[in-house]
A and B are shown apart, each in its own frame.
Chain A
Amino acid sequence: MTPQSIALNRFGLGYRRGDALPQYPRSWLKQQIGGYEPSPQALAGRAVDGEEVARVIADTAEFRAMRNAAREDDDNPDAAAMMSKERQQDVRRGLIADIALRGRLALETDTPFMERMVHFWSNHFAVSADKAQLPSLVGPYEFGAIRLHVTGYFSDLLKAASLHPAMLAYLDQWQSQGPNSRAAATRERRGRPERGLNENLGREILELHTLGVEGGYTQEDVRELARALTGWTMQGLPAAARATPQPGGAAFFDYIHEPGTRTVMGRSYRDTGTGQALAILDDLAVHPSTARFVATKLARHFAGDTPPESLVDRLAKAFSESGGHLPKVYEALIDAPETWVEEPVKFRQPWEWAVGLLRAGGEMKLADRQFAIMLRELGQQAWRPGSPAGWDDREASWAGANALYRRVEAAERVANLLRLEDVRDLAEAMFPGSLSDTTRQSVRWAESNEMGFALLLVSPEMMRR
């Protein structure tokens, strides 16, 4: 791969039909950091802020109350089921629209390197539409919270992601309660069943979002962080109507917060309400283990499944010296020799491949639903990684037989829809200076432009980056 092709494909999301080729690959990439637009035109019609999140949550709560009332109605036994069904269809339609919007953002962006970072961080702080409440929150989460912070400090990204209602719901934080909170005392007085601590978010923050599983934390650190996090819930819940609104649609409900000083990773944090968890997150965000963990994941994404130690060191140093200022880490990535090796280092994940296909074609062409279905059939449904660890970023998870076959089918379908006329030139532009003779000849000798484009989309060059 030439530097041009590496910039387009490894760092970016693939060549977009009609674009000029970048003349100075490194500068082109670096300029994208400053040129990144968190709220581009394509997002203009989609409300994604905290107000929208609170509205979605309140709306869900209201729906549940109405449905439960309908269940009590003996005269109309099917009413509740009908309501649920309609509701589910609405939610699904909304999710499909958001998935297609995610595709359009990736197609239309002029800063594809930064768009890749949006996808990277969204997966680092994975939530899944599998869980109830989530289908309507995943869009606002990525569009409204992740996007805003990918060119800022890691600590701000961490706080925005971990304390967003999508994450609070996904990892059960919103109903976690301090065993010594006022809520617990009241419950005990009234003889109500006990509710207590949920460690899920606390554990994942340490294990998946910051220090990493080998980052040196103990089970007691997990519990202490979980205690500090009690009280973080979301706006729009009737049960937390008295909670104090926080950014992004979150809320802090002192009534369920565990009082007292907490100790995490050897440091003490006084109980200052919201400030306690925020201070812990700020410290975790700049911990050396976090620098190393984040550096390793980034290095794996850009330099291969087993990333060179030298690159991990380089990125961890940039992270630590800048206090987690992400643009400094991106610059280190761009400057590092390890990310410019000529051989392809990664097998494209289905999402990356699908985005590459859209950009090569230059237009969406597929209906929203078709795009969502295509992703599912390629084996990577958007926002459904199936685990808080996110989609795996190693070749073994993606270089599969069925996955390849589905790419062939999807490629032909899209090629037939697009009916391009310039496939031979397009091939050279997609992989400048890097096209193999085999692929070039296959495309040239294809019986039609459509066939040529389909072959190009499933070529070895397109499968890897």
Chain B
Amino acid sequence: MIDRRTMLAGSAALAAASLGPRMAFARTAGEKRLLVLVMRGATDGLALAAPLADPAFRAARAKWLDTYADAPKLDGTFALHPALAETGRLYGEGDALLVHAVATSYRERSHFDAQNLLETGGMRPFERRDGFLNRFLGLLEGSESPAIALASALPLALRGSNPASTYAPTTLPKASDALLDRLPDLYAGDPQLAGLWQQARQTEAIADASDMDSLGRARDAGTLAARMLADPQGARVVMMDLAGWDSHANQLGMLQRRFTQFDGLMAAFRAGIGPVWEDTLVLVVTEFGRTVAINGTNGTDHGTGSAALLLGGLVKGGRVLADWPGLASGQLYEGRDLKPTMSLEALNSGALASHFELDAEKVMRALYPGRTDRPVEGLIA
């Protein structure tokens, strides 16, 4: 039986030949892939990787320590949140690197401004209109570097002068084959729409999303991201938002759910991407961290330093990378937050440069103009 997917692959290849290189997602095997996940709402890095050996942490978070009773130890200091089983497994295999006490240069506490800086790479909120990831696309050789945001609208990080598209499974009813079949004729005399339509069918075919109606289910999202990156006709860069990390109240249950979702996404992604994992870098970042102290509603408030994750077959993982500042009151940022000791901009530049074999200083200048931080080295094998 010929299913929709094989059929499309055939007709797409045919159509691609006539449309020229810009329209097709041409890519040779062996090229590097990137998945960027943004945890929006400020993830509590101290919950993600708990510094159990820090007495100040044990004191401040005493009533939450039970969570980590059986949690996997990352090293002598940190334990991973127990909901992160897959992440822990990857860590064990040396494919996950945990980076701690990291933050962008932003030192205020507005999600809105912080996310803008995280995405634009600017020095001040709303100073720039294009995103750091879009500028990164410009550094990739040959400009055959399709980027896809798994979202209904292009996130700021991917906006800019380099081409990037979006894909989101939809709750709209699927269009009938009868209609789909007529569109090539309707667009026959219109190169732009014909090209977009052909690209759309290709992306739909790769997504093969008949079983998904939204990005809400984490495993589905992970599978989708893997399909997009693994398919030879797919994308080299995929970005996705993971919402809902603003844990002002009842943080324990909330993070248990969020981390479980994230971990399920990673498990599905790892399974779905297969051997391409060896060429893949997954970058997991958030806009800032949260207060060390528990607030009056069993949550935490907006803080500064947080954690980030690098995963992938080439990541020099199985370790925690941190210049740990300590959590005793004198060691905190403004007396309340984990003090950042690593620049997220330097981390991102270092990781992307190394993974894609680019000059790190050049990546830093393009992604984060006006900064002098040295890109972090030694992240990727």
Contacts and interface: CB of A to CB of B under 8 A. Distances in A.
Interface of A: 71-72, 77-78, 80-81, 84, 130-131, 172, 200, 203-204, 373-374, 376-381, 386-389, 392, 396-397, 399-406, 408-410, 412-413, 436, 438-439, 442, 446-447, 451, 454-455, 458-460, 463
Interface of B: 110, 112, 116, 125-126, 129, 152-156, 159, 161, 163, 165-168, 170-176, 178-180, 182-183, 185-190, 192-193, 196-197, 199-204, 249-250, 296-298
A80 B297 contact: yes
B175 A409 contact: yes
Contact of B249 (A80, A203, A376, A460): A80
A409 to B, nearest CB: 4
Contacts of A392: 159
Nearest to A170: B112
Interface centre among A381, A397, A401, A455 (most CB of B within 10 A): A401
A404 B193 contact: yes
B175 A386 contact: no
B163 A399 contact: no
B296 A442 contact: no
Contacts of B187: 460
A400 B156 contact: no
A396 B130 CA distance: 13
A130 B115 CA distance: 12
B189 A438 contact: yes
Contact of B172 (A72, A374, A379, A460): A374
Interface centre among B159, B166, B172, B200 (most CB of A within 10 A): B172
A194 to B, nearest CB: 12
A413 B172 CA distance: 8
Contacts of A71: 249, 296-297
A418 to B, nearest CB: 15
A412 B179 CA distance: 8
Contact of A408 (B155, B171, B179, B185): B179
Given A373-B171, A386-B153, A389-B129, 13 more contacts: A77-B298, A81-B297, A200-B125, A377-B171, A400-B165, A402-B166, A402-B168, A408-B175, A408-B180, A409-B173, A438-B185, A459-B186, A460-B187
Given A80-B297, A200-B126, A402 B165 contact: yes
Given A408-B183, A460-B193, A401 B199 contact: yes
A410 B172 contact: yes
Contacts of B161: 396
Contacts of A401: 165, 196-197, 199-200, 202-203
Contacts of A376: 152
8 A-B pairs closest in CB distance: A401-B200, A401-B199, A405-B200, A409-B172, A71-B297, A460-B190, A379-B153, A409-B175
B126 A406 contact: no
Contacts of A458: 183, 186
Contact of B166 (A72, A203, A403): A403
A446 B126 contact: no
A95 B131 CA distance: 28
Contacts of B196: 399-401, 404
A438 B186 CA distance: 6
A374 B171 CA distance: 9
A381 B200 contact: no
B112 A131 contact: yes
B298 A406 contact: no
Given A401-B165, A442-B185, A451 B153 contact: no
Contacts of B192: 399
B33 to A, nearest CB: 19
16 contacts: A80-B297, A130-B112, A172-B110, A203-B126, A386-B156, A387-B116, A392-B159, A397-B159, A401-B200, A402-B200, A405-B175, A409-B172, A438-B186, A442-B185, A454-B179, A455-B182
B175 A412 contact: yes
A84 B203 CA distance: 39
- Dominant secondary structure at the A interface: helix
A446 B178 CA distance: 10
A52 to B, nearest CB: 25
Contacts of A84: 249
Contact of A377 (B110, B170, B176): B170
Contacts of B200: 401-402, 404-405
Interface centre among B152, B153, B182, B183 (most CB of A within 10 A): B153
Given A386-B153, A402-B168, A463 B193 contact: yes
A454 B178 CA distance: 11
A28 B163 CA distance: 39
B179 A381 contact: no
Contacts of B175: 405, 408-409, 412
A40 to B, nearest CB: 29
Nearest to A350: B153
Contacts of B189: 436, 438, 460
A436 B193 CA distance: 15
B167 to A, nearest CB: 5
A248 to B, nearest CB: 23
A388 B201 CA distance: 34
Given A438-B185, A454-B179, A377 B172 contact: yes
A203 B298 CA distance: 38
A77 B171 CA distance: 35
A404 B178 contact: no
B165 A396 contact: no
Nearest to A81: B249
A370 B350 CA distance: 44
Nearest to A446: B182
Given A81-B250, A200-B125, A409-B175, A402 B183 contact: no
A175 to B, nearest CB: 11
A406 B170 contact: yes
A406 B178 CA distance: 16
B116 A455 contact: no
Contacts of B296: 71-72
B154 to A, nearest CB: 7
B186 A379 contact: no
A63 to B, nearest CB: 15
A329 to B, nearest CB: 25
Contacts of A387: 116, 126, 129, 156
Contact of A397 (B154, B185, B297): B154
A413 to B, nearest CB: 5
Contacts of A454: 179
Contact of B153 (A81, A381, A409, A438): A381
Contacts of B170: 377, 406, 409
Nearest to B298: A77
A389 to B, nearest CB: 6
Given A200-B126, A401-B196, A455-B179, A406 B250 contact: no
A396 B189 CA distance: 20
Contacts of B199: 401
B204 A377 contact: no
A28 to B, nearest CB: 29
Nearest to A373: B171
Given A387-B129, A454-B179, A402 B186 contact: no
B103 to A, nearest CB: 21
B173 A413 contact: yes
